[in-house]
Every structure is written in structure tokens, then in C-alpha cells.
Homo-oligomer: A and B are copies of this chain.
Amino acid sequence: MSKQLEFWFEFGSTYSYPTAARIERLAHAGGITLIWRPFLLGPIFREQGWEDSPFNIYPTKGAYMWRDMERLCAALDLAFQRPSQFPRNGLLAARIACWFEGEAWLPDFVRSVYDANFVRDQDISNPRVVSSILEEMQLPASEILDAAQDPESKAKLRAQTEQARSLGIFGAPSFLAAGELFWGNDRLEAALDWLQREVA
């Protein structure tokens, strides 16, 4: 068995942002292959009866989360600005990340979308915002956007979200390490350790 860590993330998810910023470095340092797995939390939340983020439904928990994010990003030396809109719809970015999985530019794209949402307060649901991220990366933005909106691409993200659900994923970020599920940015180290121990 190879050392593979699956990183399940949602572009609207706050705690996925610090993970996206640091996971590649940690995985590479441990000789671990990282598999980026975008999915949508919306359908999974709706199944639990939530039509909004639980951080909005339960304001006390939400207030805590924003403060916790500030502290966490400060400790990791990461820029952070509470977005003026939350959660933002990451559908378009998730379709791109899902359809173009394995592309060399994917990790940079993912990090740039998180930066747009949680550092620059940009609306990542807006195709122009996503387009300019791709252009800044010297990528053919309109081709990529078109491909991501293709029915096959849409179906791929739906299937990946369905797979998340069948794995027992209920939040983001989540990690799958040698069949073991971990949830939360604060479990990233535990997931990496698990993989190192289980896969010799």
C-alpha cells in the first residue's frame, strides 16, 4: 500500500483554509502522496436538516469559530480576514478542482481560491473572480471554465460528493488515511501520523 492521504475539502469551509495552506508541505515532508478531493458540504448539511452553515444556524458556535480562526491563522502566520459573506458558494471552483484533479496547477489553484475567500474577501461564486485567479496563473481561463461546466464535469463532482457521504464525511476538512477517517484541521497531524504508522 502506498502512502496516500486523501484531503476532502469544501471551498466555503473556514477550517479547510489553513489546512489547504499547509497540507502539501507536511505531506511531502513525510513522503506522502496527497490526493485533493473537493466536494460540496451543502447536500450533506441538507441531509441533516441544515439549509445553512451550522455556524450561522448556531450563532454562539459561529462567534466562537470566527475568533478561533483568527487565533489559529495568527499562530500559523497565515493572513485571514473574515469574509463579508459566509458561507460562499464554492460550486464553480469545486467543479474545476474536481474535473482537473491531478493537474500540476491544482494545488496552487485551490490555495488561491481560499485566499480569495478568506484573505481578499472576494466572491468565489462569481465566474469573473475564478477566471482572474486562473489568468493570474497563466492558465486558459475560459477553456477551463467551460470544461468545468460540462455535464460530465458536473456529474463527477456530484459523484465525488456522494462518495464523501458514503465514507461517513460530515464536515470539512476531512482526511482519509489508510481507510481511517479524520475530521478537522486540528486532526491533520493525527491523520499523517496514522498513515506513517499503518503504511510501513
Encoded as 1 (CB less than 8 Å from any B CB) or 0, chain A from 53 to 84 comes to 00000101101100110010001000000000
A150 within 8 A of B: no
Nearest CB in chain B to that of A174: its residue: B64
In Å, the complex CA distance between A36 and B170 comes to 32
Contacts A71-B190, A186-B186, A190-B71; A168 near B63 (Cβ below 8 A): yes
In Å, the complex CA distance between A139 and B68 comes to 41
| Contact present for A61 and B170 (CB under 8 Å) | yes
Nearest CB in chain B to that of A65: its residue: B183
Contacts A71-B190, A190-B71; A183 near B64 (Cβ below 8 A): yes
Bin chain A's interface residue count. Answer: 20 to 34
Nearest CB in chain B to that of A168: its residue: B60
In Å, the complex CA distance between A75 and B190 comes to 10
A-B contact pairs, 19 of them (CB 8 A): A48-B58, A58-B170, A60-B168, A60-B170, A61-B170, A61-B171, A63-B168, A64-B168, A64-B170, A64-B183, A67-B181, A68-B183, A68-B187, A71-B180, A71-B190, A71-B194, A75-B190, A184-B186, A186-B187
